[in-house]
Amino acid sequence: MNVETDIITLTRFILQEQQKLAPAATGELSLLLNSLQFAFKFIAHNIRRAELVNLIGISGTANSTGDVQKKLDVIGDEIFINAMKSSNNVKVLVSEEQEDLIIFEGGGRYAVCTDPIDGSSNIDAGVSVGTIFGIYRLKDDSKGSINDVLRKGTEMVAAGYTMYGASAHLMLTTGHGVNGFTLDTQLGEFILTSPNLSIPKSRAIYSVNEGNSYYWPEYIKKYIEDLKKPQDDLKGKPYSARYVGSMVADIHRTLLYGGIFAYPADTKSKNGKLRILYECFPMAMLMEQAGGSAVNDKGERILDILPKGIHDKSGIWLGSQGEIDKFLTYLP
Ligand code: AHM
Ligand code: MG
């Protein structure tokens, strides 16, 4: 039997990276990443179990933005809060499920922003959902406040997501490229499966909820219509449409295959749907670190946005550099 006996687990990877890139570091970020991986494993376990123990259903409470929460949202949020609290490295936590930020006791030096279970409306159908996260180091002298998270995305020290599907996939960046890990449920470890991931330069796939197109501005309608026309460089084939409706799954495919994912603002909602701190920023950092790009509806870099509120939203376009460049030519 051919067995790989020298696998790189997430824990080993984190320690190696620290030694290589920041030998003088305190190791606090490494410990925090370890607490995160516990939260991912625990959430993955509950999602796998959900069908069996009939957890799926409405819990009766509403989240900060008024959506009805499913039980798994509540469980995911609790798991995340407890894991971050007990890590002792986190001072500030922003969760999509909590109206206000949480400030923990103790001397943690990091702020974490998360959507604990994104795409939860898909859970009943067995479609992949995921946890999205972005991490800031507290500002010097800060004792933990909203100012530690109302910062540009360029100031994040790490970001990523874990997608819970047939197995759990973690995509992580600490600002030195993107590395992908897959959870081996027997070992209980995330294993490095996609080292130094880079997104293809272009791919004729677009991913957007076209049901909203009536309310799109003209230049967006024109861009998408043009993708559906015969493409010269594709021997007359048009682009393919792919839209799961679960951001983590749509971004995961985009990272691996290339293409473009968008959730633009429309003339009704003005700011789109996706949240800057825990949806747009982490995905934008991953895309850039993988060699892709992420911009808003005006073509401005997502990571340069300065959020004014913890639940602020933005229109977003991200994916292969070539596809973003093409979109930019349509800007008014
Ligand atoms: P959620 O945080 O309430 O789950 O909403 C975010 C999700 C994303 O995963 C996905 O990209 C988007 O909503 C889909 O929205 P729509 O159904 O409007 O296309
Ligand atoms: Mg979400």
- Each residue of 253-292: b (16+ CB within 10 Å) or e? bbbbebbbbbbbbbeeeeebbbbbbbbbbbbbbbbbbbeb
pLDDT of residue 65: 63
User: Does residue 217 carry a pLDDT above 60?
Assistant: yes
Contact indicator for 32, 89 with CB cutoff of 8 Å: yes
Q: Which pLDDT band, with edges at 50, 70 and 90, does 9 fall under? A: very high
Largest CA distance in the chain: 61
Closest protein CA for atom 4 of ligand 1: 119
Highest mean pLDDT among 22-31, 54-63, 271-280: 271-280
Say yes or no: CB of residue 77 within 6 Å of ligand 1.
no
Domains belonging to the chain, first-starting first, are 10-196 (3.30.540.10), 205-328 (3.40.190.80)
pLDDT in tens, 113-165: 999 999 988 887 888 999 999 999 999 999 999 999 999 999 999 999 999 98
> What's the 275 CA to ligand 2 centre distance in angstroms?
7
pLDDT in tens, 65-96: 656 555 788 999 999 999 999 999 999 999 99
pLDDT in tens, 250-261: 999 999 999 999
Q: Which pLDDT band, with edges at 50, 70 and 90, does 1 fall under? A: confident
pLDDT in tens, 173-208: 999 999 999 999 999 999 999 999 999 999 999 999
Contact indicator for 206, 241 with CB cutoff of 8 Å: yes
Contact indicator for 304, 295 with CB cutoff of 8 Å: no
Average pLDDT across the chain, whole number: 92
By three-state DSSP, how is residue 61 classified? strand
Bridge partners, 112 (sequence order):
93, 135
State how far the Cα of 163 lies from the Cα of 178, in Å rounded to an integer: 15
> What's the 183 CA to ligand 1 centre distance in angstroms?
24
> What's the 5 CA to ligand 2 centre distance in angstroms?
38
Q: Ligand 1 pocket test: which of 132, 164, 268, 273 has the largest number of ligand atoms within 8 Å of its C-beta?
A: 273
